[in-house]
Amino acid sequence: MLQKVLRYDVQITKKFVELALKTTALRSLRNHAKFLEISCHGIVWLASWLTFIWLFNNKELYQLQVNMLIALILDIIVVAVVKAFVRRRRPIPMNKLLAVGPDKYSFPSGHASRAVMVVFILSYLYPVSIIFLPPLFAWACAVSISRVLLERHYILDVIGGVGIGLLEGLVMCLIWLSQSTSASLLSTLSDEKLDGGEYHV
């Protein structure tokens, strides 16, 4: 039964990509797929977020900074464990040049899970201004669709990634750290930035 579902997934994904290349809007999205891939890459997000924490030493941001960092680490670990367990091979692209990538396993889509998790946090756990929500949702949708258009994932991989992203958001609801706890944690990790710290001059 599982093998049949996977075969259907391969067939539907292939047809979707072929039809997408004939549709102006989706063909345009594919042209920007590489940028979308970088915009939601795990290493890029982790490095950028650590830089953000270091550069913006603002008490108002401590809670978001710490909890998002925990969420990003959680996402990387969960996706890596699931990929290692499932071990589903990535699609073979029509353009073989697209086959080069950081890993060879397909399920789930880490980009989709990360995008959904980030949107969940910024829309529910740490709500940003409502004017930022439409671009955030559009970005998450574009990232998810682009993974199929770029032939890096099958459709079920992306659906699985979206589901994992939602579950990670729910987990963050349970472990969400308070402002005071986040401030204490950051002060411990960045002692040299505080008066009286070990490296303070």
Instruction: Tell me the sheet residues that pair with 89.
Output: 105
Q: Which pLDDT score is estimated for 93?
A: 66
- What pLDDT, on a 0 to 100 scale, did the predictor assign at position 101? 53
The answer to whether the beta carbons of residues 79 and 110 sit under 8 Å apart is yes
pTM over 0.85: no
Residues of the chain under the 50 pLDDT cut? 97-100, 192-201
Report the DSSP beta bridge partners of residue 105: 89
Whole-angstrom distance, CA of residue 194 vs CA of residue 188? 10
* Residue 149 phi, psi dihedral angles, 5° rounding: -65, -35
| pLDDT tens-digit series, residues 66-100 | 999 999 999 999 999 999 998 888 887 655 544 44
Q: What is the predicted pLDDT for the residue at 190?
A: 63
pLDDT for residue 95: 54
Residue numbers annotated as active site: 111, 153
Which residue has tokens 């960092």? 69
65/196 Cα distance (integer angstroms): 23
The predicted structure's pLDDT at residue 191: 57
Question: Coil, strand or helix: which one is 30?
Answer: helix
